[in-house]
Amino acid sequence: MLKAHAASTNCIPGTTCQASLFWQGKQRTFSYHLPKSYTPHLQYLPLVIALHGTGEMGIDLEKGILQGRFDTLSDQSRIMIAYPDALQGTWNSEKKVSQPDDRGFIRAVILYFRQKYNVDPERIYVLGMSTGGLMTYQLACDSADMVTAIATVAAAMPLSLASTCKPARPIPVLMINGTSDPILPWNSHQFFSVLGGSRSSRLSIPETLEAWRKIDKITSPIFQQPMSNTQYDSTWVWLSVANMPQVVDVVLYTIYNGGHTWPGGQQYLPVEYIGKTSKAFDASIVIWQFFISHRRTPLHNLENRNGR
């Protein structure tokens, strides 16, 4: 059972607000955008949890890399967007005992919004970039009772998690990765820092796609095709899809010549450090369209479908 004391806050619709809660004896913070059309009587809003990369805070992802794009989608589509902050800018994405229980903290943030804003428990989504993506994979594995679907950008499955991941239900997964990512090279098992040096071990991008196909028990082959009208600024996109009809999809957007970046977002560091930010498509829109196409399937429905 989650136990967290939340600091009260009043948020004006159409704005980004700051909030905090106490988790494991520490004050943990997060920001969130309240849709313009929000009223206290509004219920069953979708909730998106957006996780930043190393050395950042949630506001850096929101106003920097994403350039407020998800806030615009929040106002247009009436969704809640929350941006939790890691302690000292680092997520405990591999469940190291000596580090904070970030999984529990994010679950507590989800509970905060379920209680305060009556969000729809069947439409709770998590996205993450870079190490935020690694944390997103952990939540998909351990918190399928709360999380409906996930999306990651410039991330791969941590090696320590790949062999133990057993979600309570199939989890739809959207991956967006660049073939020229110097931080997370396409076929490497190493995750590097901007300044060089390996930070952790992980699956390659193709191995991550195949791992989720197996985790979700998808037996259909992976279908690949070029994404139309996406050749732009020397980058272009291929789409790889594995699905179990009416249940779950595992999708990879391959950004040829793309870097450790958010397509359609900010070139937050020079190309020589992080690679190119593709303008071939808007990752924020693609992720949101993927999310709204999925609702969480009740466990008893899955058991009936499997003949239990």
CA distances from 235 to 31, 118, 277 (A): 33, 41, 9
Euclidean distance between CA atoms 133 and 196, whole angstroms = 20
Rounded-to-integer distance, Cα 285 and Cα 100, Å: 32
Question: Does the pLDDT of residue 284 top 60, yes or no?
Answer: yes
Question: pLDDT tens-digit profile of 6-50?
Answer: 444 588 999 999 999 999 889 999 999 999 988 888 878 999 999
**Pairwise pLDDT comparison (96 vs 303), residue with the higher score:** 96
The stretch 91-96 carries a mean pLDDT of 82
Q: What average pLDDT does the chain have?
A: 87
Q: Say if residues 18 and 29 touch (Cβ distance below 8 Å).
A: yes
Mean pLDDT across the stretch 141-163? Answer: 94
Give Cα separations from 149 to 47, 143, 171, 198, 245 (angstroms). Answer: 11, 11, 6, 29, 15
Smallest Cα–Cα separation from 35: which of 64, 2, 77? 77
| 28 vs 238, higher pLDDT | 28
Considering the entire predicted model, what is its pTM?
0.90
Torsion-angle region of 159 (φ positive above 0: left; ψ -120 to 50: alpha; else: beta) = alpha
User: Any idea where the domains of the chain sit in the sequence?
Assistant: 13-298
Query: pLDDT value at position 109?
Result: 97
Considering the domain delimited by 13-298, tell me its CATH architecture: 3-Layer(aba) Sandwich (3.40)
pLDDT band at residue 299, thresholds of 50, 70 and 90? very low
8 Å CB contact between 20 and 27 = yes
Q: How does DSSP assign 248-298, residue by residue?
A: EEEEEEEEETB-SS-TTS---S-HHHH-B---SS-HHHHHHHHHHT--PPP
